Structures are given as structure tokens and as C-alpha cells.
Chain A
Amino acid sequence: DSGVTQTPKHLITATGQRVTLRCSPRSGDLSVYWYQQSLDQGLQFLIHYYNGEERAKGNILERFSAQQFPDLHSELNLSSLELGDSALYFCASSPNPNTEAFFGQGTRLTVV
């Protein structure tokens, strides 16, 4: 158990819908990262927040957004969902941007 909690574990939704994935980082970790793992793309970095502020952005679609709240939990919002958004979404956390990140178990999103 990495200490990073992601909910829900599984999510099935229809195209065009909007979903919110939630992440609770390890106690004391200020950095939260979101990654997407799809079959043909491997693990892709989406976005990094540090203590509530966006620190770095990867190949995150405009339909996707994230935020980190004062209690340090983070949410990833995916809207206007397409079939190609079906993937595993991982959240990771670390105490600061220079230390190893610990990953949650992921949320498996299936868009039908």
C-alpha cells in the first residue's frame, strides 16, 4: 500500500459525459501528479500540482482539468468524454518535486 488513495477504482460512463476522479495523497505530501496509461500510449504525464499550485503540464487535453485543494487532495475532471479516453488514470504524490513519487492503484475509466 503506497498510501495514495484513488477513488473510484472503476468507472464506466457514456461518451459525452463528464467524470471526476479523486486522489488523496500520502500524509504530508505536497506534490500530486496525474498520469494516464492507455494501451497504445504507455504512461503519460498529465499534470503536477504542488501545494495547490499548478507546477507543470504535460499532454493534457483541454477537455481535462485538475485542481489541488487546501487539504491537498486533488481531482481530475474529464469532460466531453470520447471512446479514446478509456484508460487507467494514476495519481502519484511526493513530499516535494525532487523526491520519488508514490503511485495509487489507479482508476480504470471505460467510456462506452
Chain B
Amino acid sequence: DQQVKQNSPSLSVQEGRISILNCDYTNSMFDYFLWYKKYPAEGPTFLISISSIKDKNEDGRFTVFLNKSAKHLSLHIVPSQPGDSAVYFCAARTSLRNAGNMLTFGGGTRLMVKP
């Protein structure tokens, strides 16, 4: 049972355009969401996060949008750069006490930004 899903395994975008990566979740107890970027042979790198009390969080070229009613979040990268080419993971967690900081990850989306 995948509680966090990234339905697009890959996405190709032209340099300078917008990249939109999508993520859906099923567990209504999730209240904090994160995006990680992963290059080959490296560990995931934290990018941006959003709490369920917000619907948008922006950090430079990266913006995350949260639609709680649809249980959907998206990551927008504007403008996209070739260095953004990586695998992007959506992750979610609940602040329930016995959950620790357990992150549930989506399967990842491979973003390719073409020069």
C-alpha cells in the first residue's frame, strides 16, 4: 500500500521553462511534507518543505504547493536549469508521537532539464 505516490517516473523540460513535479498521498494523518533531490551515487538532499497549515512555501526558484483536500502536492522549479537534473522524491510524515520522524517516500521522479 503506497501511501505516497509520484505517478510520473520521469519528466523532461527545456532549460528556462517551468518544471512541475507532482505527488499524491493517501494518509490523512500526514501533516508535514518534504521534497528531496538525489543525484547518482549521493544521498538525498533536502530541498524544501511545507507544513499542512500552509498551502504554499517558496524558496528561491523552488515553490511547493499543498492541496489538502485533494491530498496533492507539487514542486515548481522556475526557471529550470540543467543542474536541476536529478531524481526528486516527495516525502511525508506525521507528528504523531510514536511515529518519530519516520518519512514515507514516493517512488521518485527523474527530471531531465535539456540545455
Interface of A with B (CB < 8 Å)?
2, 4, 31, 33, 35, 42-45, 48, 50, 55-56, 58, 90, 92, 94, 97-106
Contact = CB atoms under 8 A, between A and B. Distances in A.
Interface residues of B, number: 23
B43 A105 contact: yes
Contacts, number: 62
A101 B101 contact: yes
B107 A90 contact: no
With a 10 A CB-CB cut-off, give which of B41, B46, B49 has the most chain A CB atoms. B46
B106 A100 contact: no
Interface of B: 34, 36, 41-46, 49, 89, 91, 95, 98-108
A50 B43 contact: no
A48 B102 contact: yes
Nearest to B49: A100
A56 B99 contact: yes
B57 to A, nearest CB: 13
B108 to A, nearest CB: 7
B43 A2 contact: yes
Contacts of B44: 43, 90, 103
